[in-house]
Amino acid sequence: MKIHKEKITFKSSAQIEFIDMTEDIQTVVENSGIRAGTVNVFLQHTTMGIIINHNEPMLLQDFMRVLYHFAPVEERYSHDLFELKKTNKADGRSNGHSHCKAMLVGSNVTVPVENGRMILSDLQSIFAVEFDGSRDRDVIVQVNG
């Protein structure tokens, strides 16, 4: 099996944000020289998730709203007390809701590669979804063929 791995690095700019990684990931597939196989997109973060869906700005608002209802920011999360005690100051990150959203969405997707391209349809984009920005982030892209 041939393996090619790259890390895509970026800085998220908002607390909740959908970052379309499709072109960057396709570039890694091309860099790999692998014509057929799979690409595994994996996050090393616990307050982000990976989603494949339609990059339509109004739809992304809908996604944010349903994710918000799943784990509302204004509820109390036990984890926020842990963060507060750890930092011993009032500006500890209150990100229990971010972990909960990440748990829902998941940390990896595996996409088939054929003729050197991911076989996504025209309506599919691969998003890294930030739930606790802004932060320096990276996405692991591993092509196997």
Residues 6+ apart with CB under 8 A from 103: none
Sign of CA dihedral 83, 88, 90, 91: negative
Nearer to a second copy, 15 or 107 (CB): 107
- How many other CB atoms are found less than 10 A from the CB of residue 58? 6
Which of these ranges, 8-16, 25-33, 117-125, lies near a second copy under the rule CB under 8 A? 117-125
> Does residue number 19 form part of the binding site for a second copy (CB under 8 A)?
no
Among 12, 26, 32, 142, binds a second copy (CB under 8 A): 142
> Does residue number 117 form part of the binding site for a second copy (CB under 8 A)?
no
As measured in angstroms, the least distance from the Cβ of 119 to a second copy is 6
Find out whether 77 and 96 touch, Cβ atoms under 8 Å: yes
Site string for a second copy, 33-72 (x = CB under 8 A): ---xxx-x-x-xxx----xxxx-x-xx-xxx--x---xx-
The single residue listed with the structure tokens 């994710």 is 67
As given in the structure block, the two tokens for residue 23 are 């072109």
